[in-house]
Structure 1
């Protein structure tokens, strides 16, 4: 996983990123990277679909996964809560099926699809169990689910002040609706009645100074939330800037992939 791929997983981390055009451009750049392409391809393999089967991509964004599944002769439906994202997706892939909806109330009939995919979505859902109840509703018996997401509470950042770093990481996680959803994928799926649950872990390691803006964005968000002082923000970001200048920056991000089968 390289820098822009990592940025796609943290697209909402930057406190000031409210411009959807900027976000879409960032996601486009990330989606085009070889490792991002490989991870998407892996998720399609894990769905175990034959040509002609149906699938829903929840949180589809600008629709690339739906387009790629369609190229594999899958009847894919993309669902996103954002009208702007759906508009972009429809303009880019006019032959594909995109619908407005959210993870708690999908615009699908009972048992309509054979597979469900959600990439970096569940950390934004306050009630993951409710979302998985909806997943079971739309899946046909024996249908497959693939969940992909990062654990916001276990970012690893090297620093001369590990105590302050822990405070910053944990405080930033607390600003996310469900920051530890990915580590709970297995238990959430078990509780929801899914079977054949399997897990994969992917870890991105970054030493590139290009990550400095992302790291300082974490500290800025935590400062705005009142979890650290301005002096703490300044000292911590100055140290990280010096590390970047010296080629000593270190950040690691765990990303988890969970698969399961609906028992009907």
Structure 2
């Protein structure tokens, strides 16, 4: 996942961000989702796979264990440093998704998981994906639509306001619903779309919900008092095993034409 890891004050948020990414990688259904992406890519012995926005490098290591020659890129130097520490022997490089340092047709498989929502021009990333893929190569895009977080809460209207306010702070909050169109627009065929839903009910996922409220306050969409009341409802639900957060995750795949 390619995310800026420092705020304007200069504080380095990489350790916290890596912890978040690790937690997401352990979330219910996450391992199955990654495995499905390898299957859609046709990963096998000798497959040349590029993971764009690789974060800590877990997918690169997993694809490598399946016999692929896997490499990862991320725009954040700290993420690449962490990936190299965690998974020595694999290739990692600092690069933008829109300017990959590889020759035309260098890869058989292209994977971008939770990346395109960070980009102001996801189409440029798809054009670059097509360039570096060999004819017949496969691309898989995975990500959530930020407008569609489903939370059980007492105040449904306030919940919608909070979810949408958080979504509006994302560069491309609705890009996942565009995955199919982006692939088609950039010369990919055999395009398919799947959706899985991460259902999170354990209390340790509570910070994901409270973080939505905090972001809505910063955006000026709700007052501190409204956020406090909404958060108190979520805390009470977590304390009584009634917390419920569901996040639909979309996966689109396609084959590069000749």
TM-score (structure 2 length as normaliser) = 0.90
**How many Å separate the matches in 2 of 1:238 and 1:128?**
37
**How many Å separate the matches in 1 of 2:28 and 2:197?**
16
**Match for 2:210 among 201, 204, 216?**
216
Instruction: Report how far residue 19 of structure 1 moved.
Output: 2.3
Instruction: Report how far residue 18 of structure 1 moved.
Output: 5.6
**Match for 2:120 among 123, 126, 131?**
126
**How many Å separate the matches in 2 of 1:152 and 1:32?**
20
Residues 150-187 of structure 1: per-residue CA shift (max 9 Å, x gap): 11101111222211111111110000011111111111
Secondary structure of residue in 1 paired with 2:147: helix
Change (3 A) 1:248 1:25: closer
Instruction: Report how far residue 84 of structure 1 moved.
Output: 0.9
**How many Å separate the matches in 1 of 2:205 and 2:26?**
18
**Match for 1:253 among 239, 242, 247?**
247
- Matched ranges for 1:35-114 at <5 A: 35-114=29-108
Change (3 A) 1:262 1:205: same
Contact 2:28 2:199 in 1 (8 A): no
Contact 2:27 2:198 in 1 (8 A): no
**242-251 vs 169-178, which moves further:** 242-251
Change (3 A) 1:33 1:252: closer
Q: Where does residue 3 of structure 1 map in the other structure?
A: none
Secondary structure of residue in 2 paired with 1:152: coil
Instruction: Report how far residue 112 of structure 1 moved.
Output: 0.8
Change (3 A) 1:33 1:173: closer
Stretches of structure 2 lacking an aligned partner (at least 5 in a row): 6-10
**Match for 1:195 among 186, 189, 194?**
189
Contact 1:55 1:116 in 2 (8 A): yes
Contact 2:28 2:200 in 1 (8 A): no
Change (3 A) 1:35 1:161: closer
- Number of matched residues? 251
Stretches of structure 1 lacking an aligned partner (at least 5 in a row): 1-7
Instruction: Report how far residue 32 of structure 1 moved.
Output: 5.1
**How many Å separate the matches in 2 of 1:187 and 1:134?**
16
Change (3 A) 1:240 1:25: closer
Q: Where does residue 134 of structure 2 map in the other structure?
A: 140
Change (3 A) 1:33 1:170: closer
Contact 1:100 1:107 in 2 (8 A): no
Change (3 A) 1:111 1:225: same
Instruction: Report how far residue 262 of structure 1 moved.
Output: 0.5
